Amino acid sequence: MHTDGGIDGFDCQTCETTLAPEDVETTCPECGDPVTPVFDADALTDVVAAETDNATGIDRFAPALGFDPAAGLVSLGAGGKTVIDAPSLAAELGVDRVRIADEGRNPTGSAVDRELAVAVSVAAERDAEQIILPSTGNAARSAAAYAGRADLESLSYVPSRTPFVEKAMTNVHGGELSVVEGRYRDAAAAYDDADTDGFPVGPASPFRQLGAATLALDLFGQDGSSPDAIVLPVGHGTRLAGFFAGLQALEAGGRVGSVPQLYAAQPAGCAPIVTAYQNGGEVETWETPDSVIGPLEIPDPAVGSRALDALAASGGGAVAVTDDDALAAAVDANAATGVEVSATGGVALAGTSELAERGEIEPDGSVLVVDPLAVAAESDILRSQLMSRGI
């Protein structure tokens, strides 16, 4: 990874400094706060505007991410633009146009494939033998897949509540799994206590943000037209922070007119970022996390402060919704649009409805809803929602 053609480095806001890539492994080595990628907007613009030959998806962005184009990324073909119009939802949600970014169509079924592709590429470049991370499940599976591809070991700490398919596929990819009794915070604590010298690729990794930025490049790099608002389900804030960094660079390079308003949606049972946004304060640990939507039950977000910055800087906002509203929104969207919207994606859909009702998103606005997850791991809780309707 170098700064010749795409990234300037990683920004620590607390220390007011930009770190060279080689000086970064995870958080700021000085203060321990999360750092965020800073793109060279002109170089990035050249890359996203270029005609592509064989490279597709995120692979074509390798130079903009600081990788040698010849060597490229450790690749499973992540990324691309999988956006589906959902006209049948617009009236119901109270806006003019709704589109869904179906990120579950990534190689291991989630948007984190973008992130792990980049983080594992850095690990491989630095001759790591093992990558390590805490995860609610989908990142563990993705890490195991990319580690397998790069001939590295992976060790993931997941809570016992992680869906079977995520645990099973982590093992099937040859990944090692430490299943910790309890919830995500228990798995994260076990990870923190672990004595290992593996290369960290957890949610605090700035390389994961760099990977998340490719969603912005895929969505808006070529056609430039952007919606009025984008609603993302948010756990750690990694995706939101990286996505915003990508959007800022596209704006600076003139590829998009302005950064759309970014909204974070969280389950009401664990909404530390939404609460901090509403109170105008810092992100504080959520004491009693309680949501059936496991990927979003994150009481202590790794990149919360940078996620808050993205919401404020884009003129967006934050919204919390009940599990029940999220599940109902997901089930209704599956039936009305055919798109396989996960429960996690349902949080963003229900959030959109709430934001439109509040008037934060205008009735004539166009909205892009990001669903980061394939539905398979959550098909049980969606089916249960039907049961509650007597079906």
- Binding residues for its own copies, rule: CB under 8 A, are 56, 75-77, 80-84, 102, 105-109, 145-149, 164-165, 168-169, 171-174, 331, 334-340, 374-377, 379-380, 382-383, 386, 391
DSSP 110: B
Closer by beta carbon to its own copies, 116 or else 307 = 116
- Tell me how far apart the alpha carbons of residues 215 and 93 are, in angstroms, rounded to a whole number: 24
Helix (H, G, I), strand (E, B) or coil at 290: coil
Which residues partner with 131 through β-bridges? 154, 199
Nearer to its own copies, 196 or 222 (CB): 222
Residue (201 or 259) nearer to its own copies, CB: 201
88 vs 275, beta carbon nearer its own copies: 88
Distance of closest approach, residue 80 Cβ to its own copies, in angstroms: 7
Question: Measured between alpha carbons, how far is 61 from 388 in angstroms, rounded to an integer?
Answer: 45
Calpha distance 271→268 (Å, rounded): 6
Q: Which is nearer to its own copies, 264 or 327 (CB)?
A: 327
Neighbours of 129 (CB within 10 A): 11
Encoded tokens for 363: 């009735």
Least CB distance to its own copies at residue 247 (A):
22
The least CB distance from residue 112 to its own copies, in Å, is: 14
Dihedral sign computed on CA atoms, order 209, 212, 214, 220:
negative
Indicate the SS3 state at residue 23.
helix
Burial class (CB in 10 A: 0-12, 13-18, 19+), 318: buried
Question: Shortest gap between Cβ of 106 and its own copies (angstroms)?
Answer: 8
The span from the first CA to the last CA of the chain, in angstroms, equals: 53
Instruction: Specify the residue, 104 or 272, whose C-beta has the smaller distance to its own copies.
Output: 104
Query: Which CB, 51 or 195, lies closer to its own copies?
Result: 51
CA atoms within 13 A on the CB side of 306: 31
**The token pair that represents 185 in the structure block:** 């915070």
Distance of closest approach, residue 138 Cβ to its own copies, in angstroms: 12
Range list of H helices, 59-111? 87-93
Residue 326 Cβ vs its own copies, minimum distance, rounded to whole Å: 14
Report in angstroms how near the CB of residue 146 gets to its own copies at its nearest. Answer: 6
